[in-house]
């Protein structure tokens, strides 16, 4: 039996398996953040059609106007997303008011591949921890074997 070859092959296969485990755990964890951000996006799009919100953005301001009444802001979702969408609107040299397209482009730029990036980052973190664990285990094994052989002689 060739233990060295077997251990190297086990190391390679187990590293790949650990990476995919970490990837899917990270992507699954990121899903809740992605979905809450998607809810903010959908809320902003719905508020874009409210007359009160259309009145607030009719002059196409650079920043979303402050809400001055004591009642809750009926355009809170749009207020959170407007500044970023407006900067993208200006960068793309679009004419007219901020539209659903600007909000969607902002959402895609910010969150489009968030789950993939988060999963990949988590996968590499888990694999790195796994490799550190293997190295520490190997060092402990060689030290314990060296001590054991000292008592054996």
Instruction: Give the model confidence (pLDDT) of 58-111 as tens digits.
Output: 777 777 777 666 667 777 788 888 888 888 888 888 777 777 888 888 888 878
116-138: string of b/e by CB count within 10 Å (b at 16+)? eebbbebbeebbeebeeeeeeee
pLDDT of amino acid 73: 73
pTM: 0.66
pLDDT of amino acid 17: 95
CA distance 149 to 133: 24
Rounded to 5°, angle at Cα 87 from 82 and 93: 120
- How far is the CA of 78 from the CAs of 44, 47, 51, 153, in angstroms? 4, 6, 13, 78
- CA-nearest of 11, 13, 37, 14 to 118 is 37
């Amino acid at each position: 039996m060739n233990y060295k070859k077997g251990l190297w092959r086990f190391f390679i296969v187990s590293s790949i398996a650990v990476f995919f485990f970490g990837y899917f755990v990270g992507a699954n964890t990121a899903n809740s953040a992605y979905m809450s951000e998607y809810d903010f996006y959908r809320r902003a799009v719905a508020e874009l059609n409210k007359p009160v919100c259309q009145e607030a953005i009719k002059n196409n301001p650079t920043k979303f106007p402050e809400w001055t009444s004591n009642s809750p802001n009926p355009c809170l979702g749009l207020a959170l997303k407007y500044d970023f969408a407006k900067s993208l609107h200006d960068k793309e040299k679009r004419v007219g008011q901020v539209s659903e397209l600007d909000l969607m482009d902002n959402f895609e730029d910010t969150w489009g591949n968030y789950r993939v990036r988060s999963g990949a980052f988590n996968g590499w973190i888990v694999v790195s921890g796994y490799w550190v664990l293997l190295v520490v285990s190997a060092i402990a094994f060689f030290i314990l074997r060296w001590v054991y052989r000292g008592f054996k002689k």
